[in-house]
């Protein structure tokens, strides 16, 4: 027996020991960061108001359904209802409206994120450390930390997509729920189509029976959803709101920013996940990355990274090697980079204190007032119905000539009692691109000409008519 053959087992044992130590360190880091996430989410669940832009539009559409109205139907004169998603998230708001306006969808999204984390832990259950590390990592990733506890459609759609892919199997017992989850994912957010198609193509190549049965289940579920939609909503309105109004221009600067944030917050997870030995999971990661690449349109933000976060962690949990130190070292470093960027404010999660302050500053507004607000969620949190529930979407549609501008003429006439912006409109050129896209130049000029600044504090700039009416 040679000396080298004697040394080999010792070297392997040392490598395994180092690997286990690194997995333990990685799991500790991930668990600590996940604990921070859970504390943030718990605080969010106690807040009845908007945390990010766009929640107001989702909640408003849901409240319209709760009152027996159709958010996709023709609105009242001078009113703009965005409703540019399929109905499922709006139905969640409507069904749970007795418990609050923002809470129902916010709570469902948190449960959806936790369900994905549990699925990750289950798939990695062969090693408790690996299961803890990967499940906690998913909760700690910046896009999940920021976007899971908001009243938007994204997290719910990601969860439906993930479980459709995980459950797909050749038996009807699993193919039926997989197809149902796939149809529900699309009934929540159309971008779910990309990862679902990527995985279905892989299944059609490698697991034909699974692909066929899931496709049948998906078709049957979709027929039922379409029948319900025909019965409850105006179908032509859905086509206009969900398809035509979502055809926003591709923005290279936003696409580049999305990719940059994706690389610095979860790039290592995506890279290692794409190298998974599980072909289905590789296809899932590829489809999720396509969501980011093709999602670089005006108004897009880090919510488009949620699919990559879920797909990467599930792929890593599928067949990750626990005996190599490279994986835990790389993933721990990725989490550390993200945490450092949050700590130094390079990346900023939702500022709940600022959100509460915005809602409080609007508490003195008369409930019957006519108000044009940049964030309609602030009005809804104070019991005021918005005239424009999504100023960004309205401005983009007006710029494209898709709808007539009925708002700017009313502003010129000082027909609104108040105009509320998140930033000072006379300094809009120094604001972020997202802010500038919400306020067309013609509308800004009309506000500054017909209104004067009455309240000017960070996050709340209130304008009132210059002349009494």
The count of C-alpha atoms lying within 13 angstroms of the C-alpha of 424, restricted to the half-sphere facing its C-beta, is 10
Partners of residue 421 on adjacent β-strands:
461
| Domain ranges within the chain, ordered by starting residue | 21-50+84-344, 352-465
CA 23 vs CA 183, 405, 410: distances in Å: 37, 57, 61
Partners of residue 54 on adjacent β-strands:
none
Helix (H) or strand (E) holding 222: helix 208-232
Nearest to 79 by CA among 326, 385, 329: 385
Collapsing DSSP to helix, strand or coil, 282 comes out as helix
Rounded to whole angstroms, the Cα distance separating 245 from 242 reads 6
The H-assigned helical ranges of 168-207 are 172-186, 193-206
**CA triplet 177, 180, 183: central angle to 5 degrees?**
155
Question: What is the DSSP secondary-structure string of 56-96?
Answer: HHHHHHHHHHHTT--TTSPPPTT-B----S-SHHHHHHHHT
- Judge residue 469's burial from the number of C-beta atoms within 10 Å of its C-beta, 0-12 exposed, 13-18 middle, 19 or more buried: exposed
Predicted pLDDT of residue 14: 78
Q: Are 120 and 135 in contact (CB under 8 A)?
A: yes
Rounded to whole angstroms, the Cα distance separating 28 from 271 reads 22
In the sheet that holds 460-465, the strands lie side by side as: 371-373, 418-421, 460-465, 451-457
pLDDT tens for the chain, residues 1 to 469: 445 444 457 777 777 788 889 999 999 999 999 999 999 999 999 999 999 999 999 999 999 999 999 999 999 888 999 999 999 999 999 999 999 999 999 999 999 999 999 999 999 998 899 999 999 999 999 999 999 999 999 999 999 999 999 999 999 999 999 999 999 999 999 999 999 999 999 999 999 999 999 999 999 999 999 999 999 999 999 999 999 999 888 888 888 889 999 999 999 999 999 998 899 999 999 999 999 988 888 888 899 999 999 999 999 998 776 667 889 999 999 999 999 999 988 888 889 999 999 999 999 999 999 999 999 999 999 999 999 999 999 999 999 999 999 999 999 999 999 999 999 999 999 988 889 999 999 999 999 999 999 999 999 999 999 976 5
Q: What is the dihedral of CA 6, 10, 15, 20, to 10 degrees?
A: 150
- Name residues whose C-beta falls within 8 Å of residue 277's C-beta, 6 or more positions apart in sequence: 318, 319
Nearest to 311 by CA among 211, 174, 198, 222: 198
Q: Are 27 and 135 in contact (CB under 8 A)?
A: no
- Name residues whose C-beta falls within 8 Å of residue 3's C-beta, 6 or more positions apart in sequence: none
Predicted pLDDT of residue 255: 86
SS in 3 state form for 376-430?
A: HHHHHHCCCCCCECCHHHHHHHHHHCCCCCCCHHHHHCCCCCEEEECCCHHHHHH
- Name residues whose C-beta falls within 8 Å of residue 284's C-beta, 6 or more positions apart in sequence: 165, 195, 198, 199, 311, 314, 315
The count of C-alpha atoms lying within 13 angstroms of the C-alpha of 419, restricted to the half-sphere facing its C-beta, is 29
Beta strands 418-421 and 460-465, pairing class = antiparallel
Rounded to whole angstroms, the Cα distance separating 97 from 91 reads 10
- Name residues whose C-beta falls within 8 Å of residue 65's C-beta, 6 or more positions apart in sequence: 71, 87, 90, 91, 93, 94
Q: What is the Cα gyration radius of the chain? A: 24
């Amino acid at each position: 027996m040679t000396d080298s053959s004697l040394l080999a087992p010792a070297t392997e044992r040392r490598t395994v020991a180092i690997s286990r130590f690194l997995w333990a360190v990685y799991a500790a880091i991930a668990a600590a960061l996940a604990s921070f996430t859970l504390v943030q989410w718990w605080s969010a669940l106690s807040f009845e108001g908007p945390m990010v832009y766009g929640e107001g539009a989702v909640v408003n559409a849901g409240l319209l359904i709760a009152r027996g109205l159709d958010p996709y139907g023709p609105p009242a004169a001078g009113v703009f209802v965005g409703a540019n998603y399929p109905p499922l998230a709006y139905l969640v708001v409507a069904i749970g409206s007795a418990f609050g306006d923002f809470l129902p969808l916010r709570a469902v999204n948190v449960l959806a994120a936790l369900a994905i984390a549990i699925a990750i832990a289950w798939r990695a259950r062969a090693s408790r450390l690996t299961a803890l590390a990967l499940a906690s990592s998913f909760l700690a990733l910046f896009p999940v930390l920021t976007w899971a506890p908001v009243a938007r459609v994204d997290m719910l759609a990601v969860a439906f997509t993930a479980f459709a892919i995980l459950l797909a199997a050749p038996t009807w017992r699993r193919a039926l729920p997989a197809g149902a989850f796939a149809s529900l994912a699309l009934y929540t957010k159309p971008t779910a189509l990309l990862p679902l198609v990527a995985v279905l193509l892989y299944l059609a190549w490698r697991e034909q029976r699974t692909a066929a049965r899931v496709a049948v289940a998906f078709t049957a579920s979709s027929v039922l959803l379409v029948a319900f939609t025909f019965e409850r909503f105006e179908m032509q309105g859905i086509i206009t709101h969900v398809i035509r109004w979502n055809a926003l221009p591709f923005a290279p600067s936003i696409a580049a920013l999305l990719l940059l944030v994706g690389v610095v917050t979860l790039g290592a997870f995506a890279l290692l996940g794409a190298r998974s030995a599980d072909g289905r999971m590789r296809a899932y990661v590829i489809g999720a990355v396509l969501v980011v690449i093709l999602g670089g349109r005006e108004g897009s933000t880090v919510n488009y990274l949620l699919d990559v976060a879920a797909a990467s962690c599930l792929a890593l949990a599928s067949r990750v090697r626990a005996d190599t130190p490279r994986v835990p070292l790389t993933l721990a470093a990725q989490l550390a980079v993200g945490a450092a960027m949050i700590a130094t404010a390079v990346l900023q999660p939702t500022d709940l204190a600022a959100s509460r302050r915005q809602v409080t500053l609007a508490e003195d507004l008369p409930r019957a007032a006519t108000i044009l607000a940049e964030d309609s969620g602030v009005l809804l949190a104070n019991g005021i119905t918005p005239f424009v529930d999504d100023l960004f979407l309205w401005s983009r549609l007006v710029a494209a000539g898709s709808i007539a501008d009925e708002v700017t003429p009313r502003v010129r006439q000082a027909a609104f009692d108040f105009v509320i912006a998140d930033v000072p409109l006379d300094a809009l050129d120094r604001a972020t691109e997202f802010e500038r896209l919400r306020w067309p130049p013609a509308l800004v000029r009309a506000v500054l000409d017909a209104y004067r600044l009455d309240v000017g504090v960070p996050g709340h700039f209130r304008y009132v008519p210059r002349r009494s009416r």
